């Protein structure tokens, strides 16, 4: 699932409120064979010379820019969904991103955007679907990691934050914990965010076994660059993103499907400061900026969830 699209933001009593223009489609679906998923039809759209209104899930793409960042492979994980029907035809694709927020002696605690791992992620609403398979995947190691996940792995979601708790025994390699930025000095700082846009590489292959018990992919993650422009307490309600008195950052870069849930990282120190969440328009109606939930909001929610 990609970012939601937000516009008409106003300040009221020191808080930001807004009205949703529309919501991104849940997935960019692509064809695959029984053994290999080929992401097709993911070529970046051309800007129209006419005043054409783009579909919500394509609106962010018109302004979003990214590049592949294979050196960041260990920092961010892909959330993927694959389905098949009664004729064993299958479709699938990236849904968003997640990263290791915390670890215990026995578990890794991932964090992602709550709207990425909603009901539609685990139970496809597409007609004729027989099975839905959902994975947390990474390219680390010779064969990568592929962890099947279910809704029972999701823990304590609020303010477009959700935690995924997975036992360390299910991993072949040690996962990387991204350092958190402890100070409140990131306004104006350069940042990058990581994720898995489905149009990142139209020739990416997903390899699966016949039983759908594992999945692997050969490209990504991808990186977007920008800066932190502002931070504020936000109240906002959209169909699948809700901010309730949440500490949210405004980022200068646009974003799109597949980056939701990924980490926002300070370029200088490589410390995480937030979680990519949504996209909103400027006064000209261009979806040219994005919002990220602050790392302080995430840490506060985690502590409340533990009580």
Tell me, yes or no, whether 270 lies in a domain. Answer: yes
At residue 189 the predicted structure's pLDDT band, cuts being 50, 70 and 90, is very high
Domain of 262, CATH number, reads: 2.40.10.10
Q: What is the arithmetic mean of pLDDT over 65-80?
A: 86
DSSP-assigned states of every residue in 118-170: SHHHHS--STTEEEEEEEEEE--SSS-EEEE--GGGEEEEETTEEEEEEEGGG
Task: Tell whether pTM > 0.85.
Answer: no
d(CA 127, CA 92): 14
pLDDT tens string 198-210: 776 555 566 766 5
CA distances 205 to 25, 61, 92, 107, 145, Å, are 22, 21, 11, 30, 15
pLDDT tens string 120-135: 889 877 777 878 889 9
Tell me, yes or no, whether 48 lies in a domain. Answer: no
Tell me, yes or no, whether 76 lies in a domain. Answer: yes
Pairing between strand 154-158 and 161-167? Answer: antiparallel
Q: What is the arithmetic mean of pLDDT over 184-198?
A: 91
- The three-state secondary structure class of 210 is coil
Tell me, yes or no, whether 56 lies in a domain. Answer: no
Q: Which domain holds residue 85?
A: 4-41+62-306
pLDDT of residue 3: 44
| Among 115, 91, 106, 230, CA closest to 171 | 106
Tell me, yes or no, whether 141 lies in a domain. Answer: yes
Tell me, yes or no, whether 223 lies in a domain. Answer: yes
Helices (H), the chain: 56-59, 119-122, 295-306
Q: What is the arithmetic mean of pLDDT over 1-15?
A: 35
Tell me, yes or no, whether 68 lies in a domain. Answer: yes
Number of domain units in the chain? 1
At residue 18 the predicted structure's pLDDT band, cuts being 50, 70 and 90, is very low
| Among 115, 125, 154, 95, CA closest to 236 | 115
Tell me, yes or no, whether 26 lies in a domain. Answer: yes
- Check: CB of residue 275 under 8 Å from CB of residue 251: no
pLDDT of residue 58: 44
């Amino acid at each position: 699932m990609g970012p939601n699209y937000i516009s008409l933001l106003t300040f009221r009593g020191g808080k930001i409120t807004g009205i949703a223009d529309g919501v991104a489609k849940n997935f960019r679906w692509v064809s695959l064979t029984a053994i290999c998923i080929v992401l097709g039809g993911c070529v970046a759209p051309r800007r129209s010379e006419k005043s054409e209104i783009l579909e919500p899930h394509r609106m962010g793409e018109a302004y979003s820019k990214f590049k592949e960042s294979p050196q960041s492979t260990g920092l961010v994980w892909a959330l993927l969904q694959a389905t098949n029907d009664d004729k064993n035809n299958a479709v699938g694709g990236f849904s968003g991103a997640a990263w290791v927020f915390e670890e215990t002696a026995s578990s890794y605690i991932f964090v992602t955007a709550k709207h990425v791992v909603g009901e539609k992620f685990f139970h496809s609403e597409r007609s004729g679907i027989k099975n839905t398979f959902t994975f947390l995947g990474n390219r680390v190691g010779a064969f990568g990691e592929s962890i099947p996940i279910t809704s029972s792995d999701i823990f304590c979601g609020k303010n477009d934050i959700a935690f995924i708790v997975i036992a360390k025994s299910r991993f072949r390699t040690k996962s990387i914990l991204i350092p958190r930025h402890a100070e409140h000095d990131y306004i104006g700082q350069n940042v990058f965010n990581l994720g898995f846009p489905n149009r990142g590489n139209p020739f990416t292959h997903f390899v699966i076994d016949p039983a759908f018990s594992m999945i692997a992919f050969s490209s990504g993650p991808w990186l977007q660059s920008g800066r932190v422009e502002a931070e504020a307490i936000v109240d906002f309600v959209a169909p699948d993103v809700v901010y309730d008195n949440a500490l949210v950052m405004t980022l200068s870069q646009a974003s799109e499907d597949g980056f939701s849930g990924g980490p926002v990282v300070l370029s200088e120190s490589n410390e995480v400061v937030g979680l990519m969440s949504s996209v909103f328009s400027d006064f000209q109606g261009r979806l040219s900026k994005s919002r990220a939930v602050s790392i302080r909001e995430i840490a506060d929610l985690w502590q409340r969830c533990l009580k």
